[in-house]
Amino acid sequence: MPGIEFLIKALTPLNLLLAVGGVVAGTVIGALPGLTATMAVAVLVPLTFGMEPASALIALGAIYTGAIYGGAYAAVLLNTPGTPSAIATTFDGYPMAKRGDGDLAITLACIASVTGGLVGAAFLLLLAPPLAKFALKFGPVEYFWLAVFGLTLIAALSEGSVLRGLIGGCIGLLLSAMGTAEVGGDIRYTGDFKSLLGGIDVISALIGLYCVPVLMDLVATPDPHLKLTHEVAGFRLKEALNIAWKAKGNLARSSVIGTLVGILPGAGGSISSLVAYGEARRVSRNASNFGKGEPNGILATESANNATVGGGFVPTLVLGIPGTPPDAVILGALLVQGIRTGPSLFSEQSQIVYTFIYGLFLATILMLPVGLVIGRYAFKSIVSIPKAALVPSVAFLTIIGSYAVHNNAHETQQMVVLGLMAWVLGRFGFTASPIVLGLILGTIAESGFVQGYLIGNAKGSALMEFLTRPLSIAIIAFILLTLLYPLLKSRISAPKPPSHE
Amino acid sequence: MNKSKRDLSGIIASIVFAVIGGLAIYHSRDFSPLGSVFPRTIAAAMIVLCAVYVAVALLRPIDIERPQPGSAARRVALAIALLAWALLLEPVGFLLTSIVCFAATLVIANYDRWTPRLAVVYAAVGILVLGTLYGVFSYVLQVPFPKGVML
C-alpha cells in the first residue's frame, strides 16, 4: 500500500471536518434538481483557495462525492435525477418509493455509493498510471461509438420499446445540434430566436424533461405522492445490508465499470451508471423485475456513478485531462494551488496526492452515516409534505435552478417548454431518459463523429475509419449485443416450456 | 390497465418525428459541410427508425399502457402557470412573479377544502420556501435575479 504515512496526515481534525462538511454540502446541493456536482464544486471552490493543497483537495473530493450521492434523493423520491449521473436511478428508485420502500431505496443508494466510491478510490490509489494510458487509446471515433453505446443502452433499458428509445435518443441528439455548432461554427436550427444561439442548456433541459411531467401528473389527481406502508422508525439498514451482501457481485462489477468508464475523459457518471445497470439486468435471474423497483438496479447505478469519482481523478491527476466536468473545476483549483498535474505528479508531489486519495477514502466512508441521516430526513420530509405544498415548492426549485445555471431567463423558458413537450411525448409512449441522454452526449458524439469523418476522409474512407479500429469494433460489438441480446434470449428460450420464474 | 391493440399514438408520433427529421435535413442545406454532416446523419437515422417503427406497429398489435388519468383542467392550468412564471420573471421581477405563481400552483394542486387555518399554514410554507431558497441563491450563491418592476 503506497504511503501509509499519508493516511495519518489525512486524519487531522481539520481534514476530518472538511470531509464531513464537504459531504454534507455536496449531498444537499446534489439533491436539489438543477444543482449538479459540477455546480457544487464550482460554487464552493473559492473557499479552498486559502487552504493547504491536500486539505483543499479533500474538501473538493468530499463535495464531489457527496453531490453524486445526493442526486439519488430526487431520483428516488421525485422521479427527477438530482444530477445527470442519477438518471438510471429513477428506473427502480421511484417505483420502490411509489410502493412504499423509498426509505429502503435511499439506504441502498447510500451503501452502493459508499462501496462504489471506495472501489474508485482504490483504483486511483493503486492503478492510476496504467489506467490513464488505457484512456489515451480512445480517439474521436471511439468517443462517438461510446456515445452511441450510451444511447443504445438507455433505449434498451428505459421503459417502452427499444425503437421508441432510439427515436428519443435521435431527438435528443438533434436538440443538442441547435445553436452554434462547435465544429464549423454554423448557426443551426435557431429560427429567429436569438436566445437559442447558445443551444439548449443540458441542465435546464434535464430539469424540465424530468420535473415538469411529474408536476403535471401530481396535480391531476388527489392521490398522495408516495405511499407510506410502515412507520419510518429507522434507516432499514439491516435489510439494506442483507440485500447489498447478496448482491456483492453486482456491486463489485458495477463499481469496476464505473471506475473504468470514469477514466475516459468526458464520459462520466451518466454513461457508467447505464452500462452498470444494463449489465446488472443482463446477468440477473430477475431481469423482468428491473424497471419495476428492483433493488439491484439502484445498487448498480449508484455504485457505478460514485466509482466514477475515483475513476475521473485518474486522467485528471496523471494526464492533466479532466475525466468528468467537476474534475475540470478541481483541475483549475489545483493550478491555483500551484500543483502541476502530469505523469510525474505521483512521484514529485506524492505527499499531496496520497494525502488527497486517503482523504477521498475518508470522505466516502463518512458518507455512510452522513448520507443515512440526511436521506432519512429527506424521505420523511417528502412523504409528509402535502401535495399542495410539494408541487409549488418543486416548481419553484425548477424555476430557480434553471435560472441559476447561467443567470438566464431564456433557459428557464426552455426548461418549461421542453418539460411540456416531454409530458406530451410521454402520452405518446416516449420517455424522457433517451432524449436527455441524447442531449448530454450530443456534443461528445458530434465532435467524435466530425473528427472521425475528417480523419477518415483524409485517409481515403470515412466508413473504414469508423468500422475498423480495434476499440471501435469492441464497442460496436457491445452495441449490437445490447440491441440483439433480448431478441436472442427470447429466441433461445422460446422452445422451452414456461419456466418456474 | 394494458390493452393489446395497434399503437396508433406511436404511429402518429413517428410520422411527426420523420417529418421533423426531413425538415432538419432540408434546413441543413445552408450549413457548411462540417456543420451539416452530423445533424443530417442523425435526422436520416431518425427517419429510418420511424419508418421501421410504423411498419412494426402496423404489422403487430402491442400492449399499450394507458396514460395516467386525471384532471385535464388542472394540468392545463399548471402549464399556463409555469409558462407565465418563466416568461414574466424578467419583465415583472423574479421575486414578485415567484410569489404570484407559487400561490397559483399551490391553489391548482390543492384538493382539500380551503379553511382560514389551511390558508395561513400554506402562506407560511410559501414564505418559508420562497424566502429560504431565494435567500440562499441571492445572498449566498450571489445569483443576480431580475428585479423587473421592483427596480
Average pLDDT in chain A: 83
Interface of B with A in 83-102 (CB under 8 A): 83, 85-87, 89-90, 94, 98, 101-102
Portion of chain A with pLDDT greater than 90, in percent: 20
CA distance B37 to A141: 15
Q: Is A179 helix (H, G, I), strand (E, B) or coil?
A: strand
Total Cβ atoms within 10 A of residue A287 = 16
Of A186, A388, A403, the CB nearest to B106: A388
Give long-range contacts, CB 8 A cutoff, 24+ apart: A50-55.
A51/A18, A53/A334, A53/A337, A53/A338, A53/A339, A53/A352, A54/A9, A54/A10, A54/A15, A54/A351, A54/A352, A54/A355, A54/A356, A54/A359, A55/A14, A55/A15, A55/A18, A55/A359
Residue A500's pLDDT is 46
DSSP-assigned letters across all residues of A213-255:
HHHHHHHH--S-SS---S---S--HHHHHHHHHHTHHHHHHHH
Q: Do residues A359 and A57 lie in contact, with contact meaning Cβ atoms separated by under 8 Å?
A: yes
Of A294, A275, A330, the closest CA to residue A87 belongs to A275
CA distance A72 to A178: 30
Q: What mean pLDDT comes out for the span A392-407?
A: 87
**Domain identity same for B139 and B85:** yes
**Domain identity same for B19 and B46:** yes
C-alpha distances (whole Å) from A91 to each of A31, A235, A301, B113, B138 are 17, 22, 10, 35, 34
Evaluate if residue A226 carries a pLDDT over 80.
no
Residue B4's pLDDT is 56
Tell which of B3, B11, B42 to mutate to test the A interface (max A CBs under 10 Å).
B42
Q: With cut-offs at 50, 70 and 90, classify the pLDDT of residue B124.
A: very high
- Give Cβ neighbours of residue A475 (< 8 Å, ≥ 6 apart): A142, A145, A146, A148, A149
Q: What mean pLDDT comes out for the span B4-32?
A: 89
Amino acid at site A111: I
- Best-predicted range by mean pLDDT (A8-12, A214-218, A462-466, B49-53): B49-53
What are the phi and psi torsion angles at A24 (to 5°)?
-60, -50
Residue A225's pLDDT is 72
Report CB contact under 8 Å: B35, A427: no
C-alpha distances (whole Å) from A439 to each of A59, A161, A163, A283 are 31, 20, 18, 29
Cell 431481469 belongs to residue: A287
Specify the range with the lowest mean pLDDT, choosing from A141-150, A217-226, A286-295.
A217-226
DSSP-assigned letters across all residues of A264-313:
STTTHHHHHHHHHHHHHHHH-TTGGGTTSS-HHHHHHHHHHHHHHHHHHH
Q: List the domain range (segments joined by +) for residue B10.
A: 2-65
Angle, CA of A237, A238 and A241, to the nearest 5° = 80
Compare B143 and B85 and report the one with higher pLDDT: B85
Torsion angle defined by CA atoms of residues A441, A447, A452 and A458, in that order, rounded to the nearest 10 degrees = 170
Residue A295's pLDDT is 93
C-alpha distances (whole Å) from A20 to each of A16, A61, A113, A327, A360 are 6, 11, 16, 20, 11
Cell 402562506 belongs to residue: B123
**In sequence order, which ranges of B8-71 are alpha helices (DSSP H)?**
8-27, 33-59
Pairing of strands B62-65, B2-5: antiparallel
**Domain identity same for B61 and B76:** no
Q: What mean pLDDT comes out for the span A21-36?
A: 80
**Is this complex scored with an ipTM above 0.95?**
no
CA distance B42 to B29: 15
Report CB contact under 8 Å: A170, B62: no
Q: Do residues A305 and A272 lie in contact, with contact meaning Cβ atoms separated by under 8 Å?
A: yes
Report CB contact under 8 Å: A185, B35: yes
**Domain identity same for B88 and B145:** yes
Instruction: Find the helix or strand (DSSP H, E) in which A320 lies.
Output: none
Specify the range with the lowest mean pLDDT, choosing from A483-492, B74-83, B107-116, B134-143.
A483-492
Evaluate if residue A284 carries a pLDDT over 60.
yes
Q: Do residues A210 and A81 lie in contact, with contact meaning Cβ atoms separated by under 8 Å?
A: yes
CB burial readout B87-102, b (16+ within 10 A) else e: ebbbebbbbebbbebb
**Domain identity same for B38 and B95:** no
Evaluate if residue B88 carries a pLDDT over 50.
yes
Residue A175's pLDDT is 93
SS3 readout for A460-495: CCHHHHHHCCHHHHHHHHHHHHHHHHHHHHHHHHCC
**Domain identity same for B129 and B98:** yes
Of B32, B112, B146, the CB nearest to A186: B32
Find chain A residues with C-beta within 8 A of B79's C-beta: 216, 420
Residue A501's pLDDT is 38
Residue B130's pLDDT is 94
C-alpha cell at A253: 462489477
**Domain identity same for B6 and B56:** yes
- Give Cβ neighbours of residue A423 (< 8 Å, ≥ 6 apart): A212, A213, A216, A217, B75
Of A111, A12, A13, A26, the closest CA to residue A61 belongs to A26
**Domain identity same for B48 and B95:** no
C-alpha distances (whole Å) from B30 to each of A191, B27, B83 are 13, 7, 33
Compare A70 and B51 and report the one with higher pLDDT: B51
Q: Do residues A141 and A327 lie in contact, with contact meaning Cβ atoms separated by under 8 Å?
A: no
Instruction: Find the helix or strand (DSSP H, E) in which A358 lies.
Output: helix A350-384
Q: Is A446 helix (H, G, I), strand (E, B) or coil?
A: helix
Total Cβ atoms within 10 A of residue B148 = 16
CA distance A33 to A45: 20
Total number of domains constituting chain B = 2
Evaluate if residue A131 carries a pLDDT over 80.
no
Q: What mean pLDDT comes out for the span B116-145?
A: 90
CA distance A417 to A432: 13
Amino acid at site A347: S
Give A153 to chain B, closest Cα distance, Å. Answer: 16
State the burial class of residue B113 (Cβ atoms within 10 Å of its Cβ: 0-12, 13-18, 19+): exposed
Q: Do residues A156 and A278 lie in contact, with contact meaning Cβ atoms separated by under 8 Å?
A: yes
**Domain identity same for B58 and B79:** no
Map out the domains of chain A as residue ranges: 4-487
- Best-predicted range by mean pLDDT (A43-57, A62-76, A393-407, B32-46): B32-46
Q: With cut-offs at 50, 70 and 90, classify the pLDDT of residue A436.
A: confident
Q: What mean pLDDT comes out for the span A142-151?
A: 86
Evaluate if residue B64 carries a pLDDT over 50.
yes
- Give Cβ neighbours of residue A424 (< 8 Å, ≥ 6 apart): none
C-alpha cell at A395: 416548481
Q: What mean pLDDT comes out for the span A396-404?
A: 88
Report CB contact under 8 Å: A186, B90: no
**Domain identity same for B77 and B145:** yes
Residue A153's pLDDT is 79
Q: Which one of B65, B81, B100 terminates a domain?
A: B65
Residue A194 gets which letter from DSSP? Answer: G
- pLDDT tens-digit readout, A105-114: 999 999 999 9
Report CB contact under 8 Å: A171, B28: no
**Domain identity same for B119 and B93:** yes
Q: Which one of B43, B65, B87 terminates a domain?
A: B65
State the burial class of residue A8 (Cβ atoms within 10 Å of its Cβ: 0-12, 13-18, 19+): exposed
Q: Does A407 touch chain B (CB under 8 A)?
A: yes
Evaluate if residue B49 carries a pLDDT over 50.
yes
Q: With cut-offs at 50, 70 and 90, classify the pLDDT of residue A489.
A: low
Q: What mean pLDDT comes out for the span A311-315?
A: 85
**In sequence order, which ranges of A32-158 are alpha helices (DSSP H)?**
37-44, 53-78, 89-98, 102-136, 140-157
Residue B1's pLDDT is 45
| Nearest residue on chain A to B34, alpha-carbon basis | A184
Give A51 to chain B, closest Cα distance, Å. Answer: 20
